[in-house]
Structure 1
């Protein structure tokens, strides 16, 4: 009598190197979730991956700007992680590859409020520089989108 087919996940879990890779991936995902849990909401979205190297925490940020911000926040992040018994002594922040950024991060831009749109419009109308005035007027049209 033939055996029932086994799910591929069960087969992979029990095959040496693949099982080791799956375990490491699960550990990295758990670490990422712990790091995101102690970060503010925006920063948490910008942290795309978290790895360890000894006592060093390595974070991959969505962009160079986010990498800078995360470096600035690294002491606070270390302190918050220490409160949760995470024993890291240093944070290294790197910029993630474009492929990782596109796959994992989708920002929603905050809409421009009507009030801010009116302020930008009035500022633009008072400017003599035609190019800057035109750029600000284009920006002001983005309220509510």
Structure 2
């Protein structure tokens, strides 16, 4: 027996609520593309997302610099979007999503200097609590590759 694989969208399109959500999502994506194309200058490239609710358009921009520029262009934006029944426009900054969370974890790791490693080992030597002493030694092992014995 041969299995026939179909995209999940094909399966969901047979169910009422899921079909409605897929159609609504498709309409929203089309609307976003149309409005981005109507935005003045290079503003469309810096518009990460937008929402229209009750005649108010909210643009989500990728930096405060573009938010400031968009505020100056608010009148022009409203004029170009009259056919979409937009009465007001607002702006918010939304930082772009990062591509790789693994790189973020690596970049957040604290880099210990030789001096910090030396201080940690020295503090571990002077602790009465053996658990705290061992924890400080484990932390010192994340320092430079020099052996703890060599850092006297």
Tell me which interval the TM-score lies in, with the shorter structure as reference length. Answer: 0.5 to 0.7
Unpaired runs of 5+ residues, structure 2, are 100-152
Q: CA deviation at 1:26?
A: 1.8
Q: Which residue in the other structure is 1:12 paired with?
A: 12
1:56-67 equivalences under 5 Å are 56-67=56-67
Distance change in 2, residues 1:24/1:67 (3 Å): farther
- Alignment length, in residue pairs? 99
Counterpart secondary structure, 2:35 = helix
Q: Which residue in the other structure is 1:23 paired with?
A: 23
Q: CA deviation at 1:75?
A: 1.2
Q: Which has the larger radius of gyration?
A: 2
Residue of structure 2 aligned with 1:93, choices 91, 116, 121: 91
Distance change in 2, residues 1:98/1:4 (3 Å): closer
How large is the RMSD of aligned CA atoms in angstroms? Answer: 2.3
TM-score (norm. length: structure 2): 0.55
* 8 Å contact from structure 1 (residues 48, 61) kept in 2: yes
* 8 Å contact from structure 2 (residues 40, 77) kept in 1: no
Counterpart secondary structure, 1:50 = strand
Q: CA deviation at 1:24?
A: 2.8
**CA distance in structure 1 between the aligned counterparts of 2:46 and 2:86, rounded to whole angstroms:** 20
1:1-145 equivalences under 5 Å are 4-82=4-82, 85-99=83-97, 102=98
TM-score (norm. length: structure 1): 0.58
